[in-house]
Amino acid sequence: MEPAATKTASTFTQGVLTTRRRFRFLGLTAEDLIRVFFGGNATVAIIVLALITIFLLREGAGFFGQNQENLRIYRQAGLEYVDYMRTQVDGHTALTRELSALRLAQLQQAMAAGQTTEAANASLKDFDAFSDKFSDAIVPLRQLVSELTSGPDGDAGATAIKTKFLVAADKRVERQQLIAAGKTEAAAQVRIDEVDFEKELQPLLAARPAFEPASRELSASLTALAAKPPAGDFGKFQADVHTYLAGFPATVQKIAAWDFNQPVAFRQAFTSFLFGTQWLTASLWQDWYGIIPLFVGSLMVSLVALVIAVPFGVGAAIYINQVASPREQRWVKPAIEFISAIPSVVLGFFGIAVLGELLRKLSGVTWLDWVPGFPFSERLNILTAGCLLALISVPTIFTLSEDALNNVPRAFREASFALGANRLQTILRITVPAALSGIISAVLLGFGRVIGETMVVLLCAGNRIAIPDFTAGLGVVTQPTHTMTGIIAQEMGEVAVGSIHYRALFVIGLMLFILSLLINYGAQTIVRRYRISIG
């Protein structure tokens, strides 16, 4: 009787021969099949990458045409004209906030000197009189801007002109839909009231003679007030007032040269997005789609994460690879790599419930007052999100850095020891420089990992759409911010498909995609250069 093992081997051999015959029938060898299989994976990756690119371009390409139309309406309805005047009102508001901050500082200083709250407020009587005069100086100009915005009774002004235009646009869409559905009679009954911009803008243009004297009166009042401030340190405030007043002539010139018929260039749709400092949607006045505050927020959070993660990740890789005992390696390495298994939404919850509150309380400790930005009141900010993103990126940086250190030839270390160098000298002067290309690549890939993170920044960054105040120095990291990934996750579910807001979010996604490609390209370029230099 034939043994079972012999029978199994015979069956396997027959199967292999049959498979080879089939390959020969198809004109393929086993090597060809292996090549097709692994080459097919690369082909699939390229196809997926191309599909993602095409999808983002298809959904986002229409944004710039829509944004151009958005800017054209902004100009023709007179909103741009009114906003020129509003810049003076907004600048005065910022100065008023600065004045309030000065009063609070003086009040706290008086109370720290031992005065009661009532006595401290009484000592600021001259300050309050100065502040009241400063605030009242803007009233005539603010009233003029308010009337130009919505009219004396709330049914006129630039807002009403824009509303009429949007209603007419909606009616045109309704008529086209009825015609497409074959309902020509119903389409004929849709009444479209076209907007005569030249006629509608006459009340706004008629207000120009009233603006210039109001602006001059405001300038004279603030100049006189800034020249005689109350007791206290008003040097910066006086400089800010002079800077504010220095912009008045340019505003007057813009208003004098404004023409609602001036066309909006297509490049303005690009520049307003790429260099715009406002992301404002669903506004009753004007929607703005500027990526700068979101890009700066993403960059700030990522930099804080890297500042924390790089020392820990690279340091842990050096220790595990060069110093740790086999027992430590068996425990520490899996523990670090296990961090990547924690869902980011769980880390976000941890940031909201534990880390953010812990950092806020820690910032209030008296002996930490020297730390920039301490104390702070916002528990969800750049620092909180950056700490959590650092935790996420440590496994990536650690694993890739450790692999780079493993690839350093053992002969390098042995030669160093043979020349009398100790372990620390060998690590710092031989091993790490030899693995530097891989370490830099690890850091860049860690950067790409954190800048594309969504849930942590959405939950823990504070979601304030504004460029952080960099005048605070390093304390800027304690301010809330918003990110490109966070805005997509937050707003995508609320927008109408095909709207300008919808397409703007896809353009942000395209920017993130391009940024990730550039980071990876940079990592590969650095690796190649260091390989050449080491070789």
- Would you state the pLDDT for residue 29? 64
Over residues 6-38, the pLDDT tens digits come to 555 555 455 544 555 554 555 556 666 666 666
**What does the block give as tokens for 278?**
């406002």
Ranges of CATH 1.10.3720.10 domains, the chain: 300-494
Q: How far apart are CA 247 and CA 153, in angstroms?
A: 31
Q: How far apart are CA 278 and CA 293, in angstroms?
A: 7
Phi, psi angles (nearest 5°) of residue 455: -65, -40
- Is residue 289 classed as helix, strand or coil in its secondary structure? strand
- Is residue 288 classed as helix, strand or coil in its secondary structure? strand
Contacts of 464 (CB under 8 A, 6+ apart): 479, 480, 481, 482
Kindly state the average pLDDT of the residues 510-519: 89
Nearest Cα to Cα of residue 130 among 246, 241, 248, 244: 241
Q: How confident is the model at residue 91 (pLDDT cuts 50, 70, 90)?
A: very high
Q: Which CATH class is domain 300-494?
A: mainly alpha
Over residues 331-374, the pLDDT tens digits come to 988 899 888 889 999 999 999 999 999 999 999 888 888 888 88
DSSP 83: H
- Would you state the pLDDT for residue 27? 55
- Would you state the pLDDT for residue 184? 84
Flag whether pLDDT at 523 surpasses 80.
Answer: no
- Would you state the pLDDT for residue 283? 87
Nearest Cα to Cα of residue 86 among 286, 239, 264, 268: 286
- Would you state the pLDDT for residue 11? 57
> Considering the chain, what percentage of its residues have pLDDT values greater than 70?
90
Q: Please provide the distance, in angstroms rounded to a whole number, between the alpha carbons at the two ends of the chain.
A: 64
- Would you state the pLDDT for residue 350? 94
Higher pLDDT, 307 or 177: 307
Residue 248 CB neighbour total at 10 angstroms: 18
- Would you state the pLDDT for residue 3? 55
Flag whether pLDDT at 267 surpasses 60.
Answer: yes
DSSP 61: T
**Cα–Cα separations (whole angstroms), residue 57 to 64, 479, 510:** 12, 34, 7
Q: How far apart are CA 207 and CA 204, in angstroms?
A: 5
Kindly state the average pLDDT of the residues 131-143: 93
- Is residue 481 classed as helix, strand or coil in its secondary structure? strand
- Would you state the pLDDT for residue 169? 86
| Mean predicted lDDT score pLDDT of the chain | 87
- The reported pTM is 0.85
Handedness of CA 17, 20, 26, 27 (dihedral sign): negative
Residue 204 CB neighbour total at 10 angstroms: 24
How does strand 288-289 pair with strand 279-280? antiparallel
Q: How confident is the model at residue 1 (pLDDT cuts 50, 70, 90)?
A: very low
- Over its C-alpha atoms, the chain yields an Rg (Å, rounded) of 33
Side chain identity, residue 472 = A
- Would you state the pLDDT for residue 13? 55
**What does the block give as tokens for 198?**
């030249």
Q: How confident is the model at residue 5 (pLDDT cuts 50, 70, 90)?
A: low
- Where are the strands (E) in 22-171, listed by range? none
Element at 280 (helix H, strand E): strand 279-280
Flag whether pLDDT at 86 surpasses 60.
Answer: yes
DSSP string, 270-287: HHHHHS---EE-S-SS--
- Would you state the pLDDT for residue 419? 87
Handedness of CA 82, 85, 87, 93 (dihedral sign): negative
Over residues 213-263, the pLDDT tens digits come to 999 999 999 999 999 898 888 899 999 999 999 999 999 999 989 999 999
Q: Which residues of 434-457 are buried (b: 16+ CB within 10 A; e: fewer)?
A: bbbbbbbbbbbbbbbbbbbbbbbb
**Cα–Cα separations (whole angstroms), residue 460 to 156, 260, 382:** 42, 43, 8
